[in-house]
Amino acid sequence: MDCLIVFTKYPTAGKVKTRLCPPLTHDQAASLARAFIQDTWKTAGKLPRVDAILALDAGSDRDPDLTWLGTKPVSFFHQQGKDFGARLKHAFEYVFARGATKAILIGSDSPELSERDFKEAFNGLSRNDVVLGPAKDGGYYLIGCKVSSPFLFENITWSTEKVFKETVNQIKKKGLKWKTLSTKNDVDTFQDLKVLMDKAAKKPANRLKATRKLLRSLRKSALLSFSAISLCSVTGKTARAEEPGVYLVDNFSKETEVAGIPKGWQPLIFKDLPPSRYSIVQEKNNFFVKAVSSQSASGILKETKFNLKDYPILTWRWKVENIIAKGNASQKSGDDYPARVYVTFQYDPKKASFWEKAKYGTAKKLYGNYPPQGALNYIWDNKLPVGTAIDNAYTDRAKMIVIESGKKNVGQWVREERNVYEDYKKLFKREPPPVAFVAIMSDTDDTKESAVAYYDDVQFLKQ
């Protein structure tokens, strides 16, 4: 009997993926760990003539809830041992005592492992005593053998870059044959997670479903949206006020960038989502932006440099051709709007808490820029009363303010006005930092619907 052991911790907040905190919260890290286990377990279940079993560290919970792994009963046993090596040794002893003839053990930190990878490992054991999958950090993501081999887990300096080499030395001392698989990444650090984000975006739709869904939710939060925002090189020209008392963001013209978006604006792209389309439209002598979203999400943004106290009033015109029927501002599955205008605010390290400094410092190290401190989203909702203000479904650092609601003004140009300075103070309970950029966005990726919207005359006014 061939056996695949998935050696993992139960995804409890504060107990798993803590090296990702910050910038992730402990809840987000636990959700990520759960998604990794779900995808790993799904792949394991596809292997013919292989028994998959969880070696679980669930703390004091002897009967953990595993229904999130599917409707079928999940075979598992509890890890035992005083240290990491002892727990690995026990896992192999457990399955060999129950009839396994070949056993492979993996963690849940490499969810991109495929059926092909596992088949190669089991085939390797047909001609070798041990098989190893080296990780780029100096450890290994997979180990397999044909008989209980406790020496593999003795005299190893765990959690260091020496693990793989010391394990090979143990094999050599016994005079055994081994096969080395291709080197892969474990996801232990935020840099590893960034690599996985890029890879996941290129995987077929039926691969890494749980992980891709979780990464998409992280990207849509203010925490990780900088992976799309800061990489788009915000270098648009600073708008100039064309009349006293006005800071003009844009009233648009026929001039466009190479991508067809308005001159001086930059795309806000989410790597694993199809983008909405933005273009310049002309009616008589007026130019404005048209946004078309079909099961997609992206926006366009423009950098701004002005004092919000001097120009606190944001005004704009917009029009939508339809609302989002399944939209629900309080749920991630309904976080779609035919139109939204949002203002983001710069991170100020001088006013940040220790926790915020750690999060934003990691972000800057990875991407070269600080992500936004927070955002105000002015939205066209489907049902919430005008004036409603709630936290974004993905993060409390983005506030959603309902400006239009329902079908009443669908198909008509509507001029809006908001005091951004007062909105920020009311919702974030502090003075606003400088504005980073203004963005417009039409998105329908969560509800899988479609929308068409138009935007014009975006500007800030003196009070």
pLDDT higher than threshold 70 for residue 373? no
Average confidence (pLDDT) over 146-161:
93
Which positions ≥6 away from 46 have C-beta within 8 Å? 115
3-state secondary structure of 152: helix
Sheet holding 130-134, edge to edge: 76-78, 50-57, 2-9, 102-106, 140-145, 130-134, 178-180
Looking at 74-88, 229-243, 314-328, 336-350, which range is the least confident one?
229-243
Q: Which residues pair with 458 in a beta bridge?
A: 250
**Domain end among 184, 210, 236:** 210
* HEC profile of 90-111: HHHHHHHHCCCCEEEEECCCCC
pLDDT of residue 244: 64
Whether 253 and 382 share a structural domain: yes
Instruction: Indicate which CATH number applies to the domain containing 155.
Output: 3.90.550.10
Q: Tell me the pLDDT tens digit for each residue of 129-142.
A: 999 999 998 999 99
Whether 203 and 262 share a structural domain: no
pLDDT higher than threshold 70 for residue 242? no
Whether 316 and 447 share a structural domain: yes
Residue 338 lies in a domain: yes
- What mean pLDDT, rounded, does the chain reach? 86
State residue 139 phi and psi, 5-degree precision: -95, -150
Q: Which residue has the higher pLDDT, 198 or 418?
A: 418
Whether 193 and 266 share a structural domain: no
Q: Supply angle C-alpha 269, 275, 277, rounded to 5.
A: 115
State pTM to two decimals: 0.61
Q: Tell me the pLDDT tens digit for each residue of 203-224.
A: 776 788 898 888 877 766 544 4
β-strand pairing of 313-320 with 297-303:
unpaired
Residue 155 lies in a domain: yes
What is the maximum span of the chain, computed from C-alpha positions, in angstroms?
A: 84
C-alpha separations of 448 from 1, 175, 205, 343 in Å:
44, 58, 15, 25
Check if the beta carbon of residue 64 is closer than 8 Å to that of residue 138. no
pLDDT higher than threshold 90 for residue 324? yes
**Domain end among 210, 240, 272:** 210
Whether 251 and 399 share a structural domain: yes
Whether 206 and 282 share a structural domain: no
β-strand pairing of 178-180 with 246-250:
unpaired
Check if the beta carbon of residue 405 is closer than 8 Å to that of residue 384. yes
pLDDT of residue 305: 84
Strands of 147-285, DSSP E:
178-180, 246-250, 266-269, 277-283
Residue 59 lies in a domain: yes
pLDDT higher than threshold 70 for residue 362? no
Which positions ≥6 away from 128 have C-beta within 8 Å? 176, 177, 178, 179
Sequence length of the chain is: 463
Report the distance separating Cα 49 and Cα 42, nearest Å: 15
Report the distance separating Cα 447 and Cα 273, nearest Å: 13
> In percent, how much of the chain has pLDDT > 70?
87
Residue 215 lies in a domain: no
3-state secondary structure of 27: helix
Whether 285 and 349 share a structural domain: yes
pLDDT of residue 403: 96
Whether 200 and 230 share a structural domain: no
pLDDT of residue 227: 42
3-state secondary structure of 315: strand
Check if the beta carbon of residue 462 is closer than 8 Å to that of residue 311. yes
**Domain end among 160, 192, 210:** 210
Whether 110 and 234 share a structural domain: no
Report the distance separating Cα 178 and Cα 165, nearest Å: 13
8-state DSSP, 298: E
Average confidence (pLDDT) over 183-197:
83
**HSE value, Cβ hemisphere, 13 Å, CA-based, for 47:** 27
Q: Tell me the pLDDT tens digit for each residue of 10-67.
A: 999 989 998 887 677 788 889 999 999 999 999 999 999 999 999 999 787 778 899 9
- Name the burial class of residue 398, with classes exposed (0-12), middle (13-18) and buried (19+) by CB atoms within 10 angstroms of its CB: buried
Report the distance separating Cα 144 and Cα 128, nearest Å: 10
8-state DSSP, 75: P
As for how many domains the chain has, the answer is: 2
Instruction: Indicate which CATH number applies to the domain containing 375.
Output: 2.60.120.260
DSSP characters over 119-130: HHHHHHHHH-SE
Whether 56 and 169 share a structural domain: yes
Q: Which helix (H) or strand (E) holds 214?
A: helix 209-219
Closest CA to 146 of 165, 124, 168, 162: 124
Whether 188 and 243 share a structural domain: no
Report the distance separating Cα 435 and Cα 249, nearest Å: 12
Which positions ≥6 away from 445 have C-beta within 8 Å? 216, 270, 273, 274, 295, 296, 297, 336
Check if the beta carbon of residue 311 is closer than 8 Å to that of residue 460. yes
Q: Supply angle C-alpha 85, 87, 91, rounded to 5.
A: 120
Domain enclosing residue 105, as ranges: 2-210
pLDDT higher than threshold 60 for residue 370? no
| Chain position carrying tokens 């959700």 | 31
Closest CA to 421 of 372, 385, 376: 376
Report the distance separating Cα 97 and Cα 80, nearest Å: 15
Residue 264 lies in a domain: yes
Whether 356 and 228 share a structural domain: yes
